[in-house]
Structure 1
Amino acid sequence: MERLVHRLTTLRTRLESGMDRREFLRTVATSGYAVGVAHLLGVEDFLGVDDGEVPIVTALVRDDPDDPSSLRERTRSVSAEWYAAVEKAFELNELLARVGFTGYLGSAVVPGNYDSATASVSIGVSSEGQSIPEMIEEFADGVSIDTEGIIRLERMEDGPDFTEPRLMERLPDGDVPSGFACETPSSVATLAPALYHPNANGPLFATAEHAFKSMSTLDGETLGLPIGSGETLELGTVVQSHPIEDVAVVEPNGGVLPSSRIVAPSVARVRGQYTKYGLADLIARDEELEKVGALTGHTTGQIQGIDAVTCFTDDFCRRGQIRWGGEMDLTDGDSGSVSYHPDPEGEDGDVLIAGFNNARTWWPGQSYVWGVSAYRLTEQHGYHF
C-alpha cells in the first residue's frame, strides 16, 4: 500500500508539473496502473483541459441565490506549474504546524502570480531568534521561506479612535442583514451574514465567540440587536461555540431571521464562499478583500497570506486563517464581520465570503487582520454561507 501511495504521489507530481496527455497515458499504461486509479488523481478533469493546466475548485456557489442548499463547485483551469508550487507550500505549512518547533508563532502561505509560478511560506518566530530546523528547510524543496522575528506583547496597542457603533435605525421588517452592531451580555460585536448547517432547520445568526468573553459557558446566552431608537431586539440564543475558530452560532428565537445580505456602500448579496485554492487564485490575480464592520465600516485591503497558522494569542494554534488588509481595518466591535470579494461570475452585487474577521496585529513589524477562512469552518464543522 505504501508503495502504491508513493507511486501515485510521484505520478501526481509529474502531472502537476505539466505532463501532457500522451505522456500521462503512456505512463499509466507502462506502470501497471488500473484504469480505475484515474479518479484518485482527478485525471478525468486533467484530460479535459489544455496541456500544462490543471483544474482547481475555486468556490462553492449557489445555483439559486435564494436556496442555500443549491451549492455547487465552481472550477477554473490554472497553470500546472503554479499549482504544484502552491501545493508544495501548503504541504510545508502543514508540516510547520505539526512540528511546532521552539519559537514558532505561526506561518502563512503566499502564492505568487501565475507568471512567476511560485509560492512562499512566511514564518513568524519569537524575537529570541530561533532558527528554522534543518529538516524543514530540506523539505521546502524550492519553496521560498521568509522568516520574521516577532516580539511578544501582553497588551494590545491603541487602535483607531473609538466611534459610535453602526446600529440599525429601526426594527427590521423581515430578515436582519449583516454589518450592523450586535450585543452580547458583555460587549458589542458585528453581526455576520446568515450561516447554514445541514442539521439546522434554517439560517443561523453568527458573530465572534470572544464577544462573550466574560461568560463561563455560552450555551443559552442571548444575542441582541441594538436599535437606533434605544431598543434592543433579542435575536436568539447561542447553540454552538467554537473558541478555536472564534465563532459563536445563534439559533433565531422566531422573531426575525438572519439574511445573506451585507449592508455595505451598496447592498451585497452573499452567493457562496471561496475555497482554499479560490483564495490562492485571488492572491495570484492581485485581488482585494472587503469588509463591513460595526465600528470602522467598509474597508478594503490586499490578501497577505492564506492557510495561516496563528499561535500568538492563546495556548493553542488556530489553523485555516486568512491575513489581509492592515491593523487599522479592524478594531473592537468589528469582530464577527466577514471578509468578502465580488463574485466574478455572479450578478451585480453578488459576493463570495472569504472568512470571518476576528482580530488584528498589535505587535511591531506586521500589520494585518486575521480570521478563520470559510472553507475551514465548513471542513471542521459543516457550516457554510
Structure 2
Amino acid sequence: MSAANTERLGSQLASLRDRLESGMDRREFLRTIVSGGFAVGMAQWLGVDDFLAADDGEVPIVTALVREVPDDPWSLQERIRYVPAKWYAAVEKAFELNERLASLAFTGYLGSAVVPGDYASGTATVSVGLSSDSHSVRELLGELADGISIDTETIIDIEAIQDDPEFSEPRFADAASDGTVPSGVACETPSSIATLGPALYHPDGQRRLFVTAEHAFAENRDTTEDALLLPREEGDPIELGRVVHYHPVEDVAAVEPNGWIEPASRIDAPSRPRIRGQFTRFGLADLAARDEELEKVGALSGHTTGKIQGVDAVTCFTDEFCRRGQIRWGGEMDLTDGDSGSVSYHADPEGDDGEVLVAGFNNARTWWPGQSYVWGVGAYRLTENHGYHF
C-alpha cells in the first residue's frame, strides 16, 4: 500500500472512530464499514472488537488493572466495563478540553478537573479555578467549550488564608512480626512525619518499594542519605530503606527496602483490605458517574470516606509548575499534616470481600473558602509516567 493510500485509510479510520465514540450503534457501524469498502475485520484496526459484542448504544472501557493471581503483582490484566456511548463521548471530550486548558495555561488559570455526569444524563463538566474572572477569560472558555459545560470559580488569596492543622497522635505500626508493614501507618523522614503507602511495584527487576510523599523530605535531598524510618510506640524506630527515586511533580518518593521488613499490599484498616490492583482514568470516571465513594487511612486522621469531586484534574495552586492526573475527592477535613503518602481506594466491585483497588495518592487539601476536597495523583498517572503500579 502506498504512503498516500495509507494516510487516506488512516484518516478514514480516525473519522469512523470519532463517529463511533459519539454514539453510533452497531447496525450503523456495520453499514458504514461495508458501504465504505472495509471488511468487518477492520474492527480490530479500530480497536473496537469488543464494541461489536456490546448492546446498541454501549462501548467498552478499561476500568482497572487487576491481578489475575491475587498474590502475584505482575499478573495484571485489564478489566472491561460497558458504558453508554453518549456518556463516554462526553467524558472523552471533557478530558480533551481539560488537557487543552492546561496546555494553554492562560493568565488567571489555577487548575481544572473533569466532573463526569451520571450515565442517564450522558454529560460531563469541566470545573475551572481562576484567579480572576475577566471578560476575555470568559470569551476564551466559551470558544474552547465545544459543547462541554464549563463551571468556573474565582479563587483569591490562596497563600494568605492557610490555616494551621490540629495536632493528633500518629497511628503506629504493629511490631511487623510477619516481616511486612501495611499502608496507613506513620513513617518518619529526616524532617517530618508522613503516612506510609502500600507496596509500589516497578517492572524494572520486578522491584517492590516502600512509598510516601516526596514533600515529607527536606528540600536539600540526597538519595544516598535520605532514610525512611518506621516509628514505634515502644522501642527505637526501624530503618525501612533509603530513597531511590524522587518524583516532585507527582509528589512521590520511592524507597528501596534494605532490611528484613518489606512493604505490603494491605491497608491498616479494621478489615485489613488487600490491594488487588488500581483504577484507570476512565475507571475513576465510572465511579464518579455511579456516585461511589473513595476511602483512605491516614497516619493522623485515620479512616475517612468521601465522594469523588473531579478526575484527571490539574492543580497549579502551590508550586511554580502544575500537577496533572490528579483526583479530587472528599473534603478538607479528610486530610491533615502527616496523612500525605496515604492512598485513596475503593472496594473491588468484582473481587472477593476485603479486596480493594487503589485510586491514587493523597498529597494535599484545600484551605481556602468555597472549595473543600483532598487532591493527589492518580495511580494511572504513576503508571503512565514512571511504570509503577500498586
TM-score (norm 2): 0.94
Q: Check conservation: 2:68, 2:75, Cα contact below 8 A.
A: yes
Structure 1 distance, partners of 2:161, 2:265, is: 32
Classify 1:227/1:200 alpha carbon distance in 2 versus 1 (closer, same or farther; 3 Å): farther
**Partner residue, 1:13:** 18
**Partner residue, 1:87:** 92
Letter matched to residue 138 of structure 1: E
Alignment deviations for residues 255-294 of structure 1 (CA, whole Å, 9 cap, x no partner): 2100001011321100000000100000000000000000
Alignment deviations for residues 179-233 of structure 1 (CA, whole Å, 9 cap, x no partner): 1000000000000000001004431100000000333334541000001104100
**Partner residue, 2:109:** 104
Within the candidate set 146, 154, 157, 1:149 is matched to 154
Deviates more, 1:106-115 or 1:173-182: 173-182
Within the candidate set 24, 28, 33, 2:29 is matched to 24
Aligned residues, how many? 385
Within the candidate set 195, 199, 207, 1:202 is matched to 207
Measure how far apart 1:172 and its partner are.
3.8
Measure how far apart 1:77 and its partner are.
0.5
Measure how far apart 1:156 and its partner are.
6.0
Structure 1 distance, partners of 2:137, 2:45, is: 34
Classify 1:156/1:192 alpha carbon distance in 2 versus 1 (closer, same or farther; 3 Å): farther
Letter matched to residue 221 of structure 2: S
Classify 1:66/1:244 alpha carbon distance in 2 versus 1 (closer, same or farther; 3 Å): same
Structure 2 distance, partners of 1:100, 1:340, is: 30
Structure 2 distance, partners of 1:152, 1:95, is: 25
Classify 1:173/1:23 alpha carbon distance in 2 versus 1 (closer, same or farther; 3 Å): closer
Residue 262 (1) aligns with residue 267 (2): yes
Structure 2 distance, partners of 1:260, 1:137, is: 45
**Partner residue, 1:217:** 222
**Partner residue, 1:311:** 316
**Partner residue, 1:166:** 171
Structure 2 distance, partners of 1:219, 1:319, is: 29
Q: Check conservation: 2:23, 2:89, Cα contact below 8 A.
A: no
Alignment deviations for residues 56-94 of structure 1 (CA, whole Å, 9 cap, x no partner): 000000111100011100001000011011011001001
Within the candidate set 229, 236, 244, 2:241 is matched to 236
**Partner residue, 2:65:** 60
**Partner residue, 1:126:** 131
Q: Considering only aligned residues, what root-mean-square deviation do their CA atoms show, in Å?
A: 1.8
**Partner residue, 2:286:** 281
Structure 1 distance, partners of 2:206, 2:290, is: 38
Residue 252 (1) aligns with residue 267 (2): no
Could you say what secondary structure the match of 1:68 adopts? coil
Within the candidate set 198, 214, 218, 1:193 is matched to 198
**Partner residue, 1:331:** 336
Q: Check conservation: 1:159, 1:328, Cα contact below 8 A.
A: no
Measure how far apart 1:22 and its partner are.
2.6
**Partner residue, 1:51:** 56
Could you say what secondary structure the match of 2:54 adopts? coil
State, as a whole percentage, how many aligned pairs show the same letter.
Answer: 70
Measure how far apart 1:8 and its partner are.
3.2
Could you say what secondary structure the match of 1:83 adopts? helix
**Partner residue, 2:3:** none
Letter matched to residue 255 of structure 2: V
Alignment gaps of 5+ in structure 1:
none
Could you say what secondary structure the match of 1:203 adopts? strand
Measure how far apart 1:135 and its partner are.
5.1
Letter matched to residue 105 of structure 2: G
Measure how far apart 1:10 and its partner are.
2.9
Alignment gaps of 5+ in structure 2:
1-5
Could you say what secondary structure the match of 1:61 adopts? strand
Q: Check conservation: 2:111, 2:128, Cα contact below 8 A.
A: yes
Classify 1:351/1:382 alpha carbon distance in 2 versus 1 (closer, same or farther; 3 Å): same
Structure 2 distance, partners of 1:23, 1:6, is: 19
Within the candidate set 77, 81, 85, 1:76 is matched to 81
Alignment deviations for residues 279-330 of structure 1 (CA, whole Å, 9 cap, x no partner): 0000000000000000000000010000000111111110000000011110
Structure 2 distance, partners of 1:127, 1:332, is: 29
Classify 1:169/1:77 alpha carbon distance in 2 versus 1 (closer, same or farther; 3 Å): closer
Structure 2 distance, partners of 1:230, 1:164, is: 17
Structure 2 distance, partners of 1:114, 1:128, is: 31
**Partner residue, 1:384:** 389
Measure how far apart 1:158 and its partner are.
2.5
TM-score (norm 1): 0.95
Q: Check conservation: 2:165, 2:337, Cα contact below 8 A.
A: no
Measure how far apart 1:124 and its partner are.
0.5
Structure 1 distance, partners of 2:23, 2:220, is: 54
Q: Check conservation: 1:111, 1:284, Cα contact below 8 A.
A: yes
Structure 1 distance, partners of 2:182, 2:159, is: 36
